[in-house]
Structure 1
Amino acid sequence: MTKPEHSLSEIIKDIVTVIIGILFCGFALKGFLVPNKFFDGGVTGISLLIHEIYHKNIAFVIIAANIPFVILGAFQVNKSFALKTFVCVIALGICLLYVPYPVITSDKLLVSIFGGVFMGLGVGLSIRGGCALDGIEILALYTLKRSSFTISEIILGINIIIFLIAAFELGLPTALYSILTYYTASRTISFVIDGLEEYTAVNIISGKSDIIKERLVMELGRGITVYKGERGFLKESFDVSHPVDIIFTVITRLEVRRLKNLVHSIDPKAFVFTNSIKEAAGGVLKKRVREH
């Protein structure tokens, strides 16, 4: 008997995660951003801009602004994702209409920072639950196939336009504080999605690679890959080189310091360099966030 793709417990967990995310987004909007005429990036930023310029109810504006991107998502991603996203957006609109959030503060710095933090928490949790509360990434994905720009460049360009309009309509200080809100939200989203266990690739070049390999596997319990290379090629002795095993492994960022300390205790002259990994799957990696 084959195991169902998603168990009931996983579905319930996703639903609860999305609901919490929606509540956080509503709190960020009604408790911080809307009362103080602040903005965020993406479709939420467009919605807030329309709300301020035309004085339309933010709940209805967010729903209407996301509909084109939901339709686009049905073609660019899949219909299931688009349907879940549409339900989430509707739920956010209902939350904004009926949940009596208090206005927390009017201090501009606090609004820009904590408004961004709670917005990032909400959007990040909704993504972990399998849907999106902002369609800007879908638009970027659509534009990517028709231009030479990257997704990050497309999103940045759209947000620059949003903040320029905000600066023109509501003043430069508000736009600048809103940029801080957007940055804080973006960093929080990354943290919520990647978590403390964001994967880091580590490459180690050392003359004592045999000992390092053994201790990485036996003490840290990490899987390793070994490349064959050469070391040496110094300026004063360019023709002199030696074969060396280049060790590659993937760890979480919580383990980086422990790994570096271990390598340094074996070979203080070892060359160690790291870089972040956006996606990793398979091998001996432990499962982090269920993919949808």
Structure 2
Amino acid sequence: MQYLGIVFGSLIVAFGFNLFLIPHQVLSGGMSGISMILGMITPLNTGFANFLLNLPLLIIGYKMLGRRLIINSILSVIIISIGLYIIPVHAIAQDKILSSIFGGAITGLGVGMVFRSSGSTGGFDIISMILARKMDFPIGALLSGMNGVVIIISGFLFNWDSALNTLVSIFVTGKVVDAIYTDHAKLTIMIITEKGEEMRKHLLSNLYRGLTIMDGVGGYSNNKRNILVTVISRYELNDVKNLISEVDTSAFVNITETIEVMGLFHRPSPN
């Protein structure tokens, strides 16, 4: 199901590019926007350029964000690149402003779906996810802030009408991403399991958060159990559920929204 979300979301992004944005010289943000520029001013195919530009960032992301996310991101980048290569560039609407708005919304929908499936579409997404993990800031806003360079390039290479339409597209994309993928929201996870030590090691080796462990006793069975409590960002939820299932499929897990976190949210570095 996770891979289906990545594939479907990536294809939506490619459709948004080739049917709404590229025909009107309206750009997306980040590396995708730069790939569009290369596709417009050089013989290089947009999909091929997208793959080449994302390759070094995927390597950086592998070190900073973990193997699972980057494998999912590689899948997304490949699907987007193939989609950009196969889907014909054809304008669905003739109005540039409408195309900018709807293209941005469709792109944001696809990117949000990929994020919710524990992946990324590469490029600035990887950079913004690293910053969001460190700063706990809405990822859509970070994407919008880093995309100013694409808007400036668009203005100088094409015209400032295209630059302003690109600004509209990027703004709408960021808003839709934040509506779908509320990564900055916090969740409290309480895990009740008979495999407490194994669960602790597995979570700490794969999760960028600390844990609190308490002893418990089953009210009905009278068996001893461990209660593990941690606070995560919403973008980590799918990964955490998968990690829990890998250790104990019968673990009882309670997930609640957290209004505010005080104190150390990130796992402290070892001395």
**TM-score category, normalised to shorter length:** 0.5 to 0.7
Deviates more, 1:169-178 or 1:99-108: 99-108
One-letter identity of the residue aligned with 2:119: C
The one of 83, 91, 95 equivalent to 2:83 is 95
CA distance 1:161–1:96, shift in 2 (3 Å): closer
Asked if structure 1 preserves the Cα contact closer than 8 Å seen for 2:58 and 2:70, the reply is: yes
* Matching residue's letter, 1:111: S
Cα-to-partner distance string for 1:142-184 (whole Å, 9 max, x where unaligned): 68999xxx98887555312221111111111100011000011
State the Cα deviation string for residues 66-86 of structure 1 (Å, max 9, x = none).
111111100110122212211
Q: Does 1:291 align with 2:238?
A: yes
Q: Distance in 2 between matches of 1:104 and 1:152?
A: 26
Q: 1:280 aligns with which of 184, 187, 198?
A: 187
Letter in structure 2 aligned against 1:50: L
Q: Residue in 2 aligned with 1:174?
A: 162
Query: Please, which runs of 5 or more residues in structure 2 have no aligned partner?
Result: 191-230, 240-271
Contact 2:31 2:123 in 1 (8 A): yes
Hey, what's the Cα distance between the residues in 1 that align with 2:104 and 2:59?
27
Q: Partner of 2:38 in structure 1? A: 50
Q: How does 1:180-199 map to 2 (within 5 A)?
A: 180-194=168-182
Q: What residue number does 1:110 align with? A: 98
Residue of 23, 27, 50 corresponding to 2:11: 23
Q: What amino acid sits opposite 2:9 in the alignment?
A: G
Change in CA separation of 1:92 and 1:156 when aligned onto 2, cut-off 3 Å: closer
Structure 1 gap ranges (5+): 1-12, 199-276
SS in 2 for 1:126: helix
1:76, 1:138 within 8 Å by CA — same for their partners in 2?
no
Larger Rg: 1
1:134 maps to which of 118, 122, 129 = 122
Conserved 8 A contact 1:35-1:103 = yes
* Aligned counterpart in structure 2 of residue 67 of structure 1, from 47, 52, 55: 55
User: How many residues get paired?
Assistant: 194
What is the rounded CA distance, in whole Å, between the counterparts of 2:149 and 2:108 in structure 1? Answer: 21
Aligned structure 1 segments of 4 or more residues deviating by more than 4 angstroms: 140-146, 150-157
Q: Is the partner of 2:94 in helix, strand or coil?
A: coil
TM-score (norm 2): 0.63
TM-score (norm 1): 0.59
Percent identity over paired residues: 25
The separation in 2 between residues aligned to 1:95 and 1:41, in whole angstroms, is 17
Residue 101 of structure 1 deviates from its aligned partner by 6.9
Offset of residue 94 of structure 1: 1.5
Determine if contact 1:43/1:136 at 8 Å carries over to the other structure. Answer: yes
Distance 1:169 1:29, change over 3 A: same
Aligned to 1:232: none
Q: Provide Cα deviations, 1:226-255, integer angstroms capped at 9, x if missing partner.
A: xxxxxxxxxxxxxxxxxxxxxxxxxxxxxx
Cα shift at 1:96: 2.1
